[in-house]
Amino acid sequence: MTMARAVASRRSFLGHSYNLVGVVAALVILAWTLVAIFAPYIIPHPIGDIVDDDYFGPMRQGLWLGSDYLGRDMLSRVLMGARYTVGISLAAVSIACFSGVVLGMAAAVTGGWFDTCLSRFLDAMNSIPSKLFGLVVVAAVGSSIPVLILTLAVIYVPGAYRFARALAVNINTMDFMTVARVRGESTAYLIGSEILPNIIRPVLADFGLRFVFIVLLLSGLSFLGLGLQPPLADWGALVRENIGGLPFAAPAVIVPSLAIASLTISVNLLIDNLPHKIRDRDA
Amino acid sequence: MKSGVLNLVVKRLGIAVVTLLIVLFAVFFATSMLPGDTASILLGQAATPEAVAGLREAMHLNDPAILRFLRWLVGLLHGDLGTSYANQMPVAALIGGRLVNTMKLAAITTLLSVPLALTLGITTAMLRGSLYDRIVTVLSIGVISVPEFMVATLSVLLFAVYLKWLPALSSVNEAHSLTDLVRIYAMPVITLTFVISAQMIRMTRAAVIETLSTPYVEMALLKGASRGRMVLRHALPNALGPIVNAVALSLSYLVGGVIIVETIFNYPGIAKLMVDAVATRDLPLIQSCAMIFCLGYLLLITAADIVAIMSNPRLR
C-alpha cells in the first residue's frame, strides 16, 4: 500500500485551489475548537431551559437553529455539544496516539521477543470490531466520560502502534541509528531523539485521521444511547434524542448531524491537502 | 515454490485461530467485569444470602475465572450458548432466527454493493481526473467521513420523507409479496450499500490505478491498445488480487454498519438483539452475539489476507 500512496501523491494539478480547500478546512476546525473552549460564554440560552412553546420548532429569529424535542434552544445545545464531542475525542486520540506511537517505536528499536508478543497481541485486539468493543465495555462497566475516553483510546491504540512501528522499522535500519547504538545511547534516547523527529509528520497526519475515526465512533455510540448519558449531550446524543423529528425534517435532528460532518470532513480535507509526503492511508 | 504459498496460508490460518482465542478471552473477561454479583442479580433483592450462595455454587461462580472460561468454551463447542438472564430462554434459540435475518440483510447488501462499487471503482480509475471521477471521489470521501447513522437519517429524509417512496421502519414478518419485501429491505440495504460501497470504491480505484502505472500497461499503451483493452485485458487480471482483498476488507465494515442500521430501522437482526441485551445487561446473550460478530469479522479479514498472499505472483 505504500506504493499506492507514492503514486497517488502525485496529484499536482489544481495546486492552488487545493490549498484553498485546506485553508477553509483548517478554519472550520479552528472555529469548532474555539466553540468547544468558549461554549459556556456564548450560548444564548442555558441548555436545560425550555424556551419554545412548540417542540421541534423551525429556525426563526431568536432560536436560530429551532428547538428540540422538549422545546429547548438547539443552537445552545449544539454549541455545548461541541465541547463533549471535540473534548472527549481529543483526549482519547491523544492517549491512543501517544501510547501507540511510543510502544511502536519501542518495539521497532528493541525488536525480538518484546516486538513479536506486542505485535501479536495488538493485532488480536485489532480483530475486534470497534463498535462491538465499545458495546461490550459499556455493558460491562457502564458509561461515563472517563470510561468513554479510555475505551475509545484503547480501541485505537493498535492502529496507531502498527502505523508508527512500520515507519520506525524503516528508520531503524539507517546508519545514524547504528551510530547512536554504538555510542551506547539508551532506548529512550533512541526513540525520542533519533526516531521520533523522523516520523513526526506522518504520525501527526495519522493523529488527524484517528481523531476522525474516534469522533465517528463516539457519535455512533452516543447515537445508540451507549455514549454520553443525559443530561449531558454530545452531537451523537443530540441526533438520538431528536430522532423523532426526522419525519418532519426538523432542524433539531439535521443540525447536529451536519456539525459532525463539518468537523470530520474538514479534518479529512485538511490532511488530504497537507503538502508533500504527508498523506492519508487508503484503508 | 507452491509450498511457499501453502506455508504462508497455513501460518495465516494459525494466526487467525490464535487471534480468535484471544478475542474470545477478551470478550469473556470484559463481560465478567460487570459490577455486582450475577447470582444476586438473578435472584433479585429479596433473596436470602443462603440462596445466593447456593446459586453461586450451582453456577460454578466460585471457580477461578480461567476454569469458567474453559467451561464456557467447551459449552460453545457443544453448541450450548447458555441461558439468557432476561427471559430464561436458551441463547441459541434467541439468536437462531435473528442471525438468519442479519445474514439476509448482509447478503442482499453484498450482492448490490460489490458490482456497483467495482464498476464505479474501475471506471473512475480509467477516467482519472475527469469530472465523473472527481464527483465519485468527493461523494465517497463524504460518505466515509460521516457516521453511518447520518447516512441512514439522510436516506430516510430523502426516500421516506420527501419522496415518500418507502416506509421509514422495517419489520420482516409482514412480507406477503415481492413489493412488500422490497419496501422492507430497501432502507436498511440502501444505507448499508452506501457505507460499504464508499470504502470499496476507494480501495478498488487505488488498486487499479496502481496497476495502470506499471511498465507492462505502459507497453500496452505504446503498442496502440485501446483504453478499454488496456484496462480489461492487461491491468485488471493483475489487479484482481488487490481488488478481492479490498472487497473482503470493505465487507468487514458490515459488522459495524449493521449495528447502527438495525437499531435505527428497528430491523429484527442479531445486532438489534445485542444492543437490547446491552441495555438489559444480559451477559450470556452479549457474549454470544459478540462472539458471532468477532467470528464474522475475523473470517473476512483473514480471507482478505489469504487472497493477498495467493495473488502475489512473487510467492507463486
In tens, the pLDDT along B8-23 reads 888 888 888 888 888 8
B253–chain A nearest CA distance, Å: 9
Residue finishing a domain among B57, B90, B123: B90
Q: Are residues B192 and B119 in the same domain?
A: yes
* Mean predicted lDDT score pLDDT of chain B: 79
Q: Are residues B74 and B182 in the same domain?
A: no
Residue in B164, B208, B215, B210 with CA at minimum distance from that of residue B186: B164
What percentage of chain B carries pLDDT values higher than 70?
A: 83
Chain A segment 70-129 residues within 8 A of B by beta carbon are 120-121, 123-125, 127-129
Q: Which residue has the higher pLDDT, B278 or A160?
A: A160
Domain containing residue B218: CATH number: 1.10.3720.10
How sure is the predictor about A2, in pLDDT bands with cuts at 50, 70 and 90? Answer: very low
**pLDDT (average), residues B151-167:** 79
What percentage of chain A carries pLDDT values higher than 70?
A: 89
Contact criterion met (CB < 8 Å) for A282 and B206:
yes
Are B41 and B51 in contact by the 8 Å Cβ rule? The answer is no
Q: Are residues B251 and B115 in the same domain?
A: yes
How many domains does the structure of chain B reveal?
Answer: 2
Q: Are residues B173 and B61 in the same domain?
A: no
Residue in B187, B192, B183, B238 with CA at minimum distance from that of residue B212: B238
- The pLDDT of residue A14 is above 60: no
**pLDDT (average), residues B107-122:** 91
pLDDT in tens, B222-248: 888 887 788 888 888 778 888 888 888
Residue B193 to residue B186: CA distance in whole angstroms: 10
- Name residue A132's amino acid: L
CB burial of B201-217 (b: ≥16 within 10 Å; e: otherwise) equals bbbbbbbbbbbbbeeeb
Q: Are residues B225 and B136 in the same domain?
A: yes
Q: Which residues of B touch A260 (CB under 8 A)?
A: 146-147, 150
- The pLDDT of residue B195 is above 60: yes
Class of the domain covering A15-277: mainly alpha
**pLDDT (average), residues B165-190:** 68
B143 domain-assigned: yes
- The pLDDT of residue B140 is above 50: yes
Q: What single string gives the DSSP state of each residue in B138-160?
A: HHHHHHHHS-HHHHHHHHIIIII
From the list B129, B162, B297, the residue facing A129 with the nearest CB is B297
Q: Are residues B70 and B46 in the same domain?
A: yes
- The pLDDT of residue A282 is above 50: no
Q: Are residues B104 and B85 in the same domain?
A: no
B39 domain-assigned: yes
**pLDDT (average), residues B182-209:** 86
**pLDDT (average), residues A35-57:** 78
B99 domain-assigned: yes
B210 domain-assigned: yes
- The pLDDT of residue A119 is above 50: yes
At B86 the pLDDT is 67
Contact criterion met (CB < 8 Å) for B161 and A246:
yes
At B163 the pLDDT is 77
At A106 the pLDDT is 92
B150–chain A nearest CA distance, Å: 6
Question: Which of A12-26, A66-80, A190-204, B115-129 has the weakest average pLDDT?
Answer: A12-26
A–B: how many Cβ contacts below 8 A?
Answer: 155
From the list B153, B255, B281, the residue facing A139 with the nearest CB is B281
**pLDDT (average), residues B187-212:** 87
Q: Are residues B112 and B58 in the same domain?
A: no
Q: Are residues B169 and B29 in the same domain?
A: no
- The pLDDT of residue B286 is above 50: yes
Q: Are residues B81 and B95 in the same domain?
A: no
Angle at A260 between CA A254 and CA A265, to 5 degrees: 120
Contact criterion met (CB < 8 Å) for B260 and A282:
no
- The pLDDT of residue B148 is above 80: yes
pTM strictly above 0.95: no
Residue of B nearest to A260 (CA): B146
Gyration radius from chain B CA atoms: 24
Residue A39 to residue A28: CA distance in whole angstroms: 16
The DSSP call for residue A198 is H
B157 domain-assigned: yes
Residue in B300, B294, B285 with CA at minimum distance from that of residue B19: B294
Residue A129 to residue A119: CA distance in whole angstroms: 18
Q: Are residues B147 and B114 in the same domain?
A: yes
- The pLDDT of residue A277 is above 70: no
Grid cell for residue B73: 468454551
B316 domain-assigned: no
Residue of B nearest to A209 (CA): B145
For A118-156, the three-class secondary structure string (H helix, E strand, C coil) is: HHHHHHHHHCCCHHHHHHHHHHHHCCCHHHHHHHHHHHH
Q: Are residues B131 and B277 in the same domain?
A: yes
B295 domain-assigned: yes
Question: Which of A69-78, A271-280, B21-30 has the weakest average pLDDT?
Answer: A271-280
Residue B286 to residue A161: CA distance in whole angstroms: 29
Residue in B304, B293, B205 with CA at minimum distance from that of residue B248: B304
Grid cell for residue A259: 456539525
Are B17 and A127 in contact by the 8 Å Cβ rule? The answer is no
Are B113 and B196 in contact by the 8 Å Cβ rule? The answer is yes
How sure is the predictor about A149, in pLDDT bands with cuts at 50, 70 and 90? Answer: very high
Q: Which residue has the higher pLDDT, B58 or A90?
A: A90
- The pLDDT of residue A283 is above 50: no
Domain residue spans in chain A?
Answer: 15-277
B200 domain-assigned: yes
At B275 the pLDDT is 84
At A17 the pLDDT is 45
From the list B35, B209, B259, the residue facing A131 with the nearest CB is B259
How sure is the predictor about A60, in pLDDT bands with cuts at 50, 70 and 90? Answer: confident
- The pLDDT of residue A137 is above 70: yes
- The pLDDT of residue B84 is above 60: yes
For B74, the domain range is 1-90
At A89 the pLDDT is 93
**pLDDT (average), residues A220-235:** 85
